[in-house]
């Protein structure tokens, strides 16, 4: 399959992930939809280009692990898991409801395909260290992908893990940082001076790539290199993403960490998204 | 209030003053039989039968006796650096992949610094991580930075977590395989180095969740855990010479508490119930037992031997055990005053 065709299909996947997320957002009337729209391309490349897994056996030993550190991005990961046929599409209306398998914050015990309980930010990368050590002990060739946010760079444990990954030469660990430059109290760069981020991780001994997280070509190339590069240590793909991506009137909204979307706006958002759907 | 500008009395000769000495002072009396590094030795023995057992530490292998394991199984030992949050997170990751990590550090750091990681990465998912922590309660003279006087109070509130406070080398040796057999997270208060052996005289066998009566008596019922069981056993012997008859109920599992045995023992009329623990008077075994008794309608005469609700002094451990009421002499004096 040529790259162009393959990425056309990834564009379809990313579109459908955004669509599932918007439908879930509409159920609740609010939520972390801007992040979900922003990270959809990264999830499309992760689940439909990079990772190995079995939809009918989410705990298959040989799978690549995907750890969602940012629990409130659950709406985005559910959308990807639905698209990957790990969760049935019919469960979309249960999002955030009593007895749902799709709670607002991601938890391992609730949802097939949700590897860890995230949400207490800064724990994903430390857990990934143990998973990567465990995979190596078992001589499994699987990768552990860990998605965390620029806000989680504020947490000291992230940097404890960043050093440890290098110490233990964890070449089976692929960190993904979503840099959307927005956390609860405002722009992330104004809250903690985490830039220049790439050189920081390089100095910590990681193989670093920084890409436009909404560019499918750039993402597939970066994920391929992350998997196949002969660097003997951990790898990180820093993804600069645009919150609200795919729905311009949501992209333009300024205070979008926890986005307020009006009742009539959900269908408008879906219309805008559908109108621009990839062929 | 301490006055740091008041000079100590220098007229006393230097030799007469006890010194802090090592970080981890031995809790053994000179005449006690001891075993060296019972935790490390037991873990090595267990690892021979259980390939999924791994050891992890936050730069304290040597001070938690994990170095014994590290030497025997270097490829199953993980040094996580002085990073307790990472230690617990990574332990969770290894447990998720089917391993049984024994993670060691000091009790202060596990309880105060890494609590959220133990709660969310380990306990919420009921993962098979075994946390063994040195310096529980008052077992060092280094001051509050190293004295985990409130670890039980902190951890008792954590769902899914089993908490054990072993008394001696024998119990630690038996607790290690029991921890591995138990499905779920366990926190163990660790005695390390030269650890006394006392329970071999009582036909004792450790079981998670079981309290055991070691000695029977009619005037006093000691309910104790950890090193205080050693102390009250000695106190009971000495009280007998004063014609005071004391029973000892050893409660090594702080959570889940063996409520039935505690109720059965404390419900026998006529005895002063004294809970003795190497922990703050707030939130430890004493208050746990008090709650059990209240809920079961048992209105025994009830007293606590425990550390005060305070940041404790630095100094030599025997001095501090006398000062805060944990030594055998102090227990004797306290109990006699209550009778």
> B248, B294, B295: which is closest to B271 by C-alpha?
B248
pLDDT > 90 fraction of chain A, expressed in percent and rounded: 90
Each residue's pLDDT, cut to its tens digit, for chain B (339 residues) gives: 789 999 888 887 666 677 766 666 778 888 889 999 999 999 999 999 999 999 999 999 999 999 999 999 999 999 999 999 999 999 999 999 999 999 999 999 999 999 999 999 999 999 999 999 999 999 999 999 999 999 999 999 999 999 999 999 999 999 999 999 999 999 999 999 999 999 999 999 999 999 999 999 999 999 999 999 999 999 999 999 999 999 999 999 999 999 999 999 999 999 999 999 999 999 999 999 999 999 999 999 999 999 999 999 999 999 999 999 999 999 999 999 999
At A223, is the pLDDT very low, low, confident or very high (cuts 50, 70, 90)?
very high
pLDDT greater than 90 at residue A220: yes
Q: For residue range B271-289, what is the model confidence (pLDDT) as tens digits?
A: 999 999 999 999 999 999 9
CB-CB under 8 Å, A126 with B88: yes
Q: What is the dihedral of CA A127, A133, A138, A140, to 10 degrees?
A: 80
Q: Residue B138 in contact with residue B330, Cβ under 8 Å? A: no
Q: Nearest 5°: CA angle at A72, between A71 and A76?
A: 100
Q: Nearest residue of B to residue A128 by CA position?
A: B93
Which of A123, A132, A167 comes nearest B121 by C-beta?
A123
How many CB atoms neighbour CB B113 within 10 A? 17
Strands B272-280 and B220-224: what pairing? parallel
> B172, B79, B166, B94: which is closest to B128 by C-alpha?
B94
What's the maximum distance between 2 C-alpha atoms anywhere in chain A?
Answer: 53
| Minimal C-alpha gap between B91 and chain A (Å) | 6
> A257, A263, A262: which is closest to A72 by C-alpha?
A257
Distance CA(A38)–CA(B181), nearest Å, equals: 45
Distance CA(B39)–CA(B47), nearest Å, equals: 12
CATH T-level fold of B209-338 = Rossmann fold (3.40.50)
**CB contact, 8 Å: A120 with chain B?**
yes
CB-CB under 8 Å, A117 with B97: no
Q: Is the dihedral of CA A149, A150, A153, A154 positive or negative?
A: negative
Give A47 or A185, the one with higher predicted confidence.
Answer: A47
What are the structure tokens assigned to B210, written together?
């079981």
**CB contact, 8 Å: A112 with chain B?**
no
Please count the CA atoms within 13 angstroms of the CA of B101 that sit on its side-chain side: 32
DSSP class of B312? P
Among A residues 148-187, those touching chain B with beta carbons less than 8 Å apart: 156-157, 160-161, 163-164, 167-168
Edge to edge, what strands does the sheet with B246-250 contain? B212-215, B246-250, B220-224, B272-280, B301-307
Q: Nearest residue of B to residue A119 by CA position?
A: B120
Q: Residue B201 in contact with residue B226, Cβ under 8 Å? A: no
Q: For residue range B58-112, what is the model confidence (pLDDT) as tens digits?
A: 999 999 999 999 999 999 999 999 999 999 999 999 999 999 999 999 999 999 9
DSSP secondary structure string for all residues of B178-243: HHHHSSS-EEEEE--SEEE--GGGGT----TT--EEEE--SSEEEEE-THHHHHHHHHHHHHHHTT
DSSP secondary structure string for all residues of B14-81: GGGS----SSS-----TT--EEE-HHHHHHHHHHHH-TTEEEEESS-TTTTTTHHHHHH-GGGEEE--
Identify the residue whose tokens are 């075993």.
B35
Q: Give the model's pLDDT for residue B176.
A: 98
| Minimal C-alpha gap between A152 and chain B (Å) | 14
Peptide bond into B78 cis (omega under 30): no
Q: Give the model's pLDDT for residue A1.
A: 45
Q: Give the model's pLDDT for residue B9.
A: 83
CB-CB under 8 Å, A138 with B89: no
Peptide bond into A274 cis (omega under 30): no
> For B278, phi and psi rounded to 5 degrees?
-90, 70
What angle, rounded to 10 degrees, do the helices at B328-338 and B227-241 form?
A: 60
Which of B86, B96, B117 comes nearest A134 by C-beta?
B96
At A7, is the pLDDT very low, low, confident or very high (cuts 50, 70, 90)?
confident
| Minimal C-alpha gap between B81 and chain A (Å) | 8
How many CB atoms neighbour CB B8 within 10 A? 7
Q: Give the model's pLDDT for residue B11.
A: 81
How many CB atoms neighbour CB B336 within 10 A? 13
**CB contact, 8 Å: A107 with chain B?**
yes
Distance CA(A272)–CA(A21), nearest Å, equals: 14
Q: Nearest residue of B to residue A161 by CA position?
A: B86
Chains A, B: CB pairs < 8 Å: 102
Q: Confirm whether B34-196 and B209-338 share one CATH topology.
A: yes
Q: Nearest residue of B to residue A155 by CA position?
A: B85
What's the maximum distance between 2 C-alpha atoms anywhere in chain B?
Answer: 62
CB-CB under 8 Å, A123 with B89: yes
pLDDT greater than 70 at residue A3: no
How many CB atoms neighbour CB B177 within 10 A? 17
pLDDT greater than 70 at residue A2: no
- ipTM score over 0.90, yes or no: yes
SS3 content of chain B, % helix, strand, coil (to 5): 40, 20, 40
Q: Residue B220 in contact with residue B302, Cβ under 8 Å? A: no
| Minimal C-alpha gap between A130 and chain B (Å) | 4
CATH T-level fold of A3-275 = Rossmann fold (3.40.50)
Q: Give the model's pLDDT for residue B26.
A: 77
Q: Residue A107 in contact with residue A156, Cβ under 8 Å? A: no
Q: Model's pTM, two decimal places?
A: 0.96
The CATH label, of 3.40.50.970, 3.40.50.300, 3.40.630.30, 3.30.70.360, for the domain at B34-196 is 3.40.50.970
Domain residue limits, chain B? 34-196, 209-338
CB-CB under 8 Å, A128 with B124: no
Q: What is the dihedral of CA B217, B222, B226, B231, to 10 degrees?
A: -70
Q: Give the model's pLDDT for residue A4.
A: 55
pLDDT > 70 fraction of chain B, expressed in percent and rounded: 97
Q: Give the model's pLDDT for residue A30.
A: 80
- The answer for residues whose C-beta is within 8 angstroms of residue B292's C-beta and 6 or more apart is B257, B259, B262, B263
Identify the residue whose tokens are 């596990």.
B110
Domain residue limits, chain A? 3-275
Distance CA(A256)–CA(A250), nearest Å, equals: 8
> B126, B134, B101: which is closest to B24 by C-alpha?
B134
Chain A residues near residue B91 by CB distance under 8 angstroms: 130
pLDDT greater than 90 at residue A56: yes
Q: Nearest residue of A to residue B85 by CA position?
A: A157
What are the structure tokens assigned to A91, written together?
């469960």
């Amino acid at each position: 399959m040529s790259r162009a065709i393959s990425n056309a299909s990834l564009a379809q996947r990313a579109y459908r992930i955004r669509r599932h997320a918007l439908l879930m957002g509409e159920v609740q009337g609010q939520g972390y939809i801007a992040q979900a729209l922003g990270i959809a391309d990264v999830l499309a490349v992760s689940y439909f280009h990079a990772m190995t897994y079995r939809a009918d056996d989410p705990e298959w030993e040989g799978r690549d692990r995907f750890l969602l550190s940012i629990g409130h991005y659950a709406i985005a990961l559910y959308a990807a898991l639905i698209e990957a046929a790990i969760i049935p599409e019919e469960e979309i209306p249960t999002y955030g409801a009593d007895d749902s398998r799709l709670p607002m914050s991601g938890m391992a015990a609730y949802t097939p395909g949700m590897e860890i309980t995230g949400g207490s930010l800064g724990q994903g990368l430390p857990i990934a260290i143990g998973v990567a050590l465990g995979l190596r002990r078992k001589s499994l060739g699987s990768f552990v992908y860990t998605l965390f946010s620029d806000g989680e760079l504020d947490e000291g444990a992230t940097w404890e893990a960043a050093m440890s990954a290098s110490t233990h030469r964890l070449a089976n660990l692929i960190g993904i940082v979503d840099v959307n430059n927005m956390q609860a109290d405002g722009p992330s760069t104004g809250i903690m001076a985490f830039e220049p981020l790439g050189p920081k991780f390089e100095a910590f001994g990681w193989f670093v790539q920084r890409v436009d997280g909404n560019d499918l070509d750039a993402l597939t190339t970066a994920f391929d290199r992350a998997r196949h590069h002969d660097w003997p240590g951990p790898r990180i793909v820093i993804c600069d993403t645009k919150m609200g991506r795919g729905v311009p009137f949501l992209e333009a909204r300024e205070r979008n960490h926890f986005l307020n979307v009006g009742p009539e706006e959900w269908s408008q958002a879906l219309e805008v998204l559908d109108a621009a759907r990839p062929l | 209030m301490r006055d740091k500008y008041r000079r100590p009395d220098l007229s006393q000769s230097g030799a007469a003053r006890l010194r802090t000495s090592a970080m981890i002072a031995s809790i053994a009396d000179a005449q006690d039989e001891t075993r060296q590094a019972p935790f490390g030795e037991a873990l090595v023995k267990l690892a021979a039968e259980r390939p999924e057992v791994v050891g992890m530490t936050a730069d304290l292998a040597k001070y938690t006796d994990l170095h014994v394991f590290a030497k025997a199984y270097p490829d199953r030992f993980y040094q996580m650096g002085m990073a307790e949050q990472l230690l617990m997170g990574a332990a969770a990751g290894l447990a998720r992949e089917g391993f049984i990590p024994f993670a060691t550090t000091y009790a202060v750091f596990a309880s105060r610094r890494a609590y959220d990681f133990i709660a969310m990465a380990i306990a919420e998912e009921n993962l098979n991580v075994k946390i063994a922590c040195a310096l529980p309660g008052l077992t060092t003279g280094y001051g509050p930075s190293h004295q985990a006087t409130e670890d039980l109070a902190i951890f008792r509130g954590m769902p899914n977590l089993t908490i054990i406070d072993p008394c001696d080398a024998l119990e630690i040796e038996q607790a290690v395989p029991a921890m591995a057999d138990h499905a779920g997270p366990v926190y163990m208060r660790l005695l390390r180095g030269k650890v006394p052996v006392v329970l071999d005289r009582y036909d004792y066998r450790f079981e998670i969740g079981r309290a055991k009566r070691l000695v029977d008596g009619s005037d006093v019922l000691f309910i104790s855990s950890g090193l205080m069981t050693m102390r009250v056993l000695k106190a009971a012997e000495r009280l007998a010479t004063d014609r005071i008859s004391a029973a000892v109920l050893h409660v090594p599992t702080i959570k889940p508490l063996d409520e039935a045995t505690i109720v059965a023992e404390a419900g026998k009329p006529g005895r002063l119930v004294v809970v003795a623990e190497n922990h703050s008077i707030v939130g430890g075994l004493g208050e746990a037992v008090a709650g059990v008794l209240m809920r079961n309608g048992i209105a025994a005469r009830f007293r606590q031997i425990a550390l005060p609700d305070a940041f404790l002094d630095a100094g030599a451990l025997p001095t501090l055990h006398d000062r805060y009421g944990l030594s055998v002499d102090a227990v004797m004096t306290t109990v006699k005053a209550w009778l």
